[in-house]
Amino acid sequence: MSTALRISASDFSRHFGRIRDAVHKAGVIEVTSHNRVVGAYISADELEHFNRLKRREVQVLHVSEIDDALLTEIENADYGVISK
């Protein structure tokens, strides 16, 4: 499983430009305060993935309604791995 980068909130605010560039490679950068995760900065790809998952979270399908594309996504999913 890929581990997200971590940065303190103060470094995040001081070095936002550098972090903005780094998030494209990292995907997710966790923002901490006093060694506790208080939020995260995610790339556009991760945001798209998150929004797609949130839409599907409330979608109820009967097994007969699953199309080939969704079945392929399910079969190829890497659970617990940050998407690329």
The predicted pLDDT at position 52 comes to: 87
The token duo for 18 is: 């550098």
Over 80: is that where the pLDDT of 17 sits? Answer: yes
The predicted pLDDT at position 1 comes to: 41
Query: Domains, the chain, ranges and CATH?
Result: 5-76 (3.40.1620)
Whole-model pTM: value is: 0.61
The token duo for 53 is: 């998952």
At residue 17, φ and ψ (nearest 5 deg) are -60, -45
The predicted pLDDT at position 70 comes to: 87
Q: What is the pLDDT of residues 28-52, one digit of tens each?
A: 999 999 999 999 999 999 999 999 8
The predicted pLDDT at position 82 comes to: 64
